[in-house]
Structure 1
Amino acid sequence: MSKIKQLWRDNRGIIVFLSLMFVFRSAVADWNDVPTGSMQPTIQIGDRILVNKMAYDLRLPFTTVSLVKRADPQRGDIVIFASEAADDRLVKRVVGVPGDVVAMQHNVLSINGAQLAYNESDQALQAYSATDESSRLLSEQLGGITHTVKLASFATGRDSFAPVRVPQGHYLVLGDNRDNSADSRVIGFVPRNEIVGRASSVLFSLDYDNYYLPRSGRFLAAL
């Protein structure tokens, strides 16, 4: 016991600092690395994205217990969730909220019978696409959010599904890389209590194909 007291006296400052940091990362904000391309071109492999853990709930630190519900995920939100079905932490975009009827035909989404608007991407996005001739980039209008989706130039078997109704307390999520994403088409609807936060910006990014050098253009980039 005396050794513990001595340890506390000698390291009180660092112990308090580390404790507060862990509480902050658990309940307020954290960062999440992205090892796959399922959200390209919005999120690149090697991005470290900022996760706002208070976007939807005020949670008891180090638990999934919600103390105060602050908001619900909306269509277009990029959410981070601890998927029991996938046994992993995933990052996807919310497409359907509880009660929505969602369908997709040849990568064209319809929500509650209304087909989403798609347009060719701007020149900057076309320049990105030029480095990957096997894909096509389109802008997708999802509610009040316009974002870019990446489509394969060949049939993958994931470009269509029949109308489904999103059950209460669940969400339908898709990756922006529509033909290369294990999302609700694979793992099913996402329960509300699995969603831990929302992402809206990149903290920093490492280029895995270039000796893990930082990508200067991705620093604090908005999503």
Structure 2
Amino acid sequence: MKNWMRANKGFVLFLMLFGIFRTAVADWNPIPSASMHPNLLEGDVVFVNRLAYNVKLPLTDIVLGHTGEPQRGDIVTFSSPADGTRLIKRVIALPGDRVEMRNEQLIINGQAADYDGVVQAAEHIQGLGALQALQVAEKIDGSRPHTIQFLPQVRAQRDMAALVVPAGQYLMLGDNRDNSADSRYIGMVPRALLIGRAERVLASADIRGNWLPRTERFGMSLYASH
């Protein structure tokens, strides 16, 4: 083993540096579920900027310093406060915000979100088949609009009692509101558990169908104007 290490020390050093780069600077994140439909699809691989908010000690959640502040509407990867699973959701409420949900409508700091441009679509759910989906542009408290999706036929948590987001924590929701395990179920997300800001789709393949590449999604920004 020592002889192999000595003979391949350049390769071993590369792997170590590459690992540090992925855990401290930039990363990519495969999308495994439908919780961010219609904006992120299963089979998308997104680029994640790990330096968007924090500098962390590699391989840990120890924050060495702050590099920026999460903004409402950011798509963020983070470790679930419930079980440590890596998730990707959208930042909806910031520390100190008072937020509630009434029959799907968000109300933040007393201001109701705007919903425009209803489009009908189909959502395929294993075991249930094709369900009706309603896609709308949601705009919250001056942030850029983003498309979200409702599934009227699915039993979901469509109401949330008013609460104030604690200091240093964030409320996250999936864009596919009725099919997302987010802060309604796992609670607020502490800043130390944020991994990074998802910036764009690097590559994409139809993993639920024919596995062909979806080249039209390659390089797609996650923050293009609605």
Task: Give the TM-score normalised by structure 1.
Answer: 0.90
Residue 130 (structure 1) shift: 3.5
Matched, 1:151 2:153: no
The answer on 1:117 being equivalent to 2:147 is: no
Q: How many percent identity over aligned positions? A: 44
Structure having the larger proportion of residues in helix: 1
Distance 2:81 2:93 in 1: 19
In structure 2, C-alpha distance between the alignment counterparts of 1:68 and 1:192, rounded to whole Å: 12
Task: Give the conservation status (yes or no) of the 8 Å contact 2:80–2:189.
Answer: yes
2:61 aligned with 1:64: yes
Q: Shift in Å at residue 83 of structure 1?
A: 1.1
**Equivalence for 2:138:** 140
Secondary structure at 1:120's aligned position in 2?
strand
2:10 aligned partner: 13
Unaligned stretches of 5+ residues in structure 1: none
- Equivalent residue for 2:126? none
Q: Secondary structure at the match of 2:8?
A: helix
Question: Which amino acid in structure 1 is aligned with residue 56 of structure 2?
Answer: R
Instruction: State how 1:59-208 maps to structure 2 within 5 Å.
Output: 59-120=56-117, 126=119, 129-132=120-123, 134-142=132-140, 143-154=142-153, 156-208=155-207
The 1:180–1:130 alpha-carbon spacing in structure 2 relative to 1, beyond 3 Å, is: closer
Distance 2:101 2:143 in 1: 19
Return the offset for 1:106.
1.5
Counterpart of 2:23 in structure 1 is 26
**What code does the residue aligned with 1:217 have?**
E
Please tell me the residue identity of whatever aligns with 2:33.
T
Shift of 1:155: 5.9
Gaps of 5+ in 2: 124-130
Note the aligned Cα RMSD (angstroms): 1.6
Superposition deviation, residue 8 in structure 1: 4.2
Q: Please name the residue that 2:38 is paired with.
A: 41
- AA paired with 1:206? A
Q: 1:107 Cα shift?
A: 1.2
Q: Which residue of 1 aligns with 2:127?
A: none
TM-score by length of 2: 0.89
